[in-house]
Amino acid sequence: MIQYEAVIGLEVHAQLSTGSKIFANSGTEAGREPNTLCDPVTLGLPGALPVLNKRVVDFAIKLGLATNCSITRENEFARKHYFYPDLPKGYQISQYDKPICQHGHLLVRVGGEERRVGITRIHLEEDAGKNVHGEHETTSFIDLNRAGVPLVEIVSEPEIRSPEEAGAYMRQMRQIVRYLDICDGNMEEGSLRCDANISLRKVGTEKLGTKVEIKNLNSFRFVERAIRYEITRQTTVLEQGDEIVQETRLWDEQKASTRSMRSKEYAEDYRYFPDPDLLPIVVDNDWIERIRATLPELPEQVYLRFKKGHQLDDYYCELLTEEKHTARYYDKALEVHHNQTALANWITTELFGRLNKENLGMEECPVSPENLGTLVKLIDEDVISGKIAKTVFDEMFSTGASPNSIVEATGLQQISNRDEIGGIIDEVLTQHPEQIAEFRDGKTKMLGFFVGQIMKRTAGKANPKVVNELLMAKLKGD
Amino acid sequence: MSLDQKDVLHVAKLSALELSEQEAEEFTKDLQDILGYVERLESVDVHGVVPTSHVHGIVNDFRDDIAKNSLKLEEVAEMAPEFKGGGFRVPKVL
């Protein structure tokens, strides 16, 4: 049987988090009352002229530098014509043959392997409005608040080979735009979405097969599932000796399948031409260097620093670098107390657990990194036990208080004083002669009983190491 | 460059316009005339001239990223042929 391999390219659209639209003064906030972010340019009124928002160009250059692109010196906007009511002018202002960034790449990690995926181009464009088609209505509802919101479209080379790789690429792209603070990455609200181009070819051949485009995938899961489905569908078509039709399909999550939306025959005829309303943009070295100076440490760099510098395993590295805020948090906590693994563990288990439960983001975390660092320090210095630390942590999360003040106020300090513990052990042993006899008859699990009794008397505060040591000595010595 | 009725119908379809046969004929002739007029430019010798899309010589005209001046909803509604429940209403498109 013929073996096929998938050839996948992704077009990722990211909404830039500017305060105003790309060519107009209206604001960009999501969730506003429909059509309250409109102005003559957004509405496409005759005579209204677009003027470019400078920050949009800054953001695109920033993304280009972070994804190893070369920045185009002479840029131009073009009109892309298609007729749809969410686009009042009858064309979308985009870039065509002079995109702002070109020839970049990302390193994508899948299952411990790293693969380079090329980025063909990143271009600037305006978003369209929203259509709502009510089921029992004869008209469609148009909201133009989103029309004119700045977008970057990031086009990958067709170098992705599996659904998992596509998902990883998408995750990494989201991570980067969020590190750069140029897009909130909210996929549910559509701030980040992607189209996937998929074709199959016989293994070992170069020639690309006919491609199918799947539109508007707005979750990592959908990206992977839609591509997986499409690979299976195309394989079946080819195995039956039929041909793939070049078309645009939509992912239907409910039916877990793709369905045809339109054939490419008409859709691709966009009649691009340079937009005479907008002047060219010339980007010089100064501009590029000014932006380069604002680049934060990128996820890939943080990952390597954590892996090599802190000897963390891939699992921790991935979790701690997923969000910029988490990486910063970890760095700050380490400044207080340099126990790399313990802090990684506390953040990714206890802290993530509580944040998830309360539905909070890392940036809203009620426990400061300094306080978490201090908490782990208290454990390491035997001031509190690991078990008590969880109680202290809960209190820290609820009140935002420092671990020191909680430990002091509630008397949760660990008891490590040998005399004090020795006295308690003596008391327990005196009260349980039968259990001592059982222990000496070989029932070693009675040891647990004694420890339990001691912990009960000290409300869990006795240092378990000291307890075990003294208890054994007393049981054997007596 | 020549243009026939098929091209006109194609462009009409892209623009979601319905043309009667008579209109299609008229537009074909009109567009042929316009193209013929523009075609005269082809007689100009542009050998060695760099293609350009702007002639002003001005570049980098920006505005700052400051949101202001959205129209009031009533003003937007007033301009629309049909506006209901806070939104434009258009023939159903899918």
| pLDDT tens, residue by residue, A58-90 | 999 999 999 999 999 999 999 999 888 899 999
In chain A, which residues have pLDDT < 50?
none
> Is B92–A55 a contact, with Cβ atoms under 8 angstroms apart?
no
Domain boundaries, position A327: 311-410
Do A332 and A194 sit in the same domain of this protein?
A: no
Cβ within 8 Å of A, B 40-79: 53-54, 56, 58-71, 73, 76-77, 79
Do A209 and A329 sit in the same domain of this protein?
A: no
> Is B87–A266 a contact, with Cβ atoms under 8 angstroms apart?
no
Using DSSP's 3-state secondary structure scheme, residue A463 falls into coil
- Tokens 């369905």 sit at which residue? A259
Do A320 and A230 sit in the same domain of this protein?
A: no
A302: Cβ contacts below 8 Å, ≥ 6 apart: A321, A327
pLDDT for residue A71: 98
B18-76 pLDDT, tens digit per residue, is: 999 999 999 999 999 999 998 888 889 989 888 888 888 899 999 999 999 899 999 99
Do A403 and A422 sit in the same domain of this protein?
A: no
Structure tokens at A307: 């892996």
Rounded CA-CA distance A462/A432 in Å is 19
CB A194 within 8 A of CB A222: no
Do A280 and A231 sit in the same domain of this protein?
A: yes
> Is A279–B93 a contact, with Cβ atoms under 8 angstroms apart?
no
- B65 CB neighbours in chain A (<8 A) are 18-20, 53-56
pLDDT for residue A247: 86
- Domain assignment present for residue A302? The answer is no
Using DSSP's 3-state secondary structure scheme, residue A416 falls into coil
Q: In sequence order, what are the beta bridge partners of A212? A: A198, A247
Do A335 and A468 sit in the same domain of this protein?
A: no
- Domain assignment present for residue A333? The answer is yes
CB A268 within 8 A of CB A82: no
pLDDT for residue A416: 78
CA–CA distances in Å: residue A396 to residues A67, A346, A370, A380, A407: 39, 13, 12, 18, 10
- A281 CB neighbours in chain B (<8 A) are 59-60
Q: Is residue A261 less than 8 Å (CB to CB) from chain B?
A: no
Number of domains in chain A: 3
User: Any idea what the CATH number is for the domain that residue A464 is in?
Assistant: 1.10.10.410
CB A195 within 8 A of CB A29: no
| Helical spans, DSSP H, in A187-321 | 220-239, 264-267, 285-292, 299-304, 314-321
Do A350 and A238 sit in the same domain of this protein?
A: no
- A45 CB neighbours in chain B (<8 A) are 79
A177-227 pLDDT, tens digit per residue, is: 999 999 999 998 899 999 999 999 998 888 888 999 998 898 999 999 999
pLDDT for residue A374: 94
pLDDT for residue A171: 93
Do A353 and A447 sit in the same domain of this protein?
A: no
Rounded CA-CA distance A126/A101 in Å is 16
> Is A38–B15 a contact, with Cβ atoms under 8 angstroms apart?
no
pLDDT for residue A268: 65
Choose the closest CB to B65 out of A19, A76, A144. Answer: A19
Q: B1-44: what CATH class?
A: mainly alpha
Q: Compute the residue count for chain A.
A: 478
> Is A140–B15 a contact, with Cβ atoms under 8 angstroms apart?
no
Do A98 and A243 sit in the same domain of this protein?
A: yes
**Residue-wise burial string across A403-415, b where 16 or more C-beta atoms lie within 10 A, e elsewhere:** beebbeeeebebb
Rounded CA-CA distance A69/A64 in Å is 5
Q: Is residue A279 less than 8 Å (CB to CB) from chain B?
A: yes
Instruction: List the one residue out of A444, A431, A453 whose CA is nearest residue A472.
Output: A444
Sign of the Cα torsion A381, A386, A390, A392 reads negative
pLDDT for residue A438: 87
pLDDT for residue A182: 97
Choose the closest CB to A280 out of B16, B54, B73. Answer: B54
pLDDT for residue B2: 77
- A19 CB neighbours in chain B (<8 A) are 65-67
Do A103 and A8 sit in the same domain of this protein?
A: yes
Q: What is the share, in percent, of chain B residues with pLDDT greater than 90? A: 52
Do A109 and A232 sit in the same domain of this protein?
A: yes
Q: Which of B68, B73, B83, B93 is best to mutate for the A interface (most A CBs within 10 A)?
A: B93
- Domain assignment present for residue A243? The answer is yes
- Domain assignment present for residue A304? The answer is no
Cβ within 8 Å of B, A 313-342: none
CB A405 within 8 A of CB A413: no
What are residue A9's phi and psi, to 5 degrees? Answer: -125, 145
- Domain assignment present for residue A297? The answer is no
- Domain assignment present for residue A192? The answer is yes
- Tokens 């098929």 sit at which residue? B6
The total of other beta-carbon atoms located within 10 Å of residue A148's CB is 32
CB pairs under 8 A between A and B: 128
Rounded CA-CA distance A140/B87 in Å is 9
* Residue of chain A whose alpha carbon sits nearest to that of B53: A274
Do A41 and A103 sit in the same domain of this protein?
A: yes
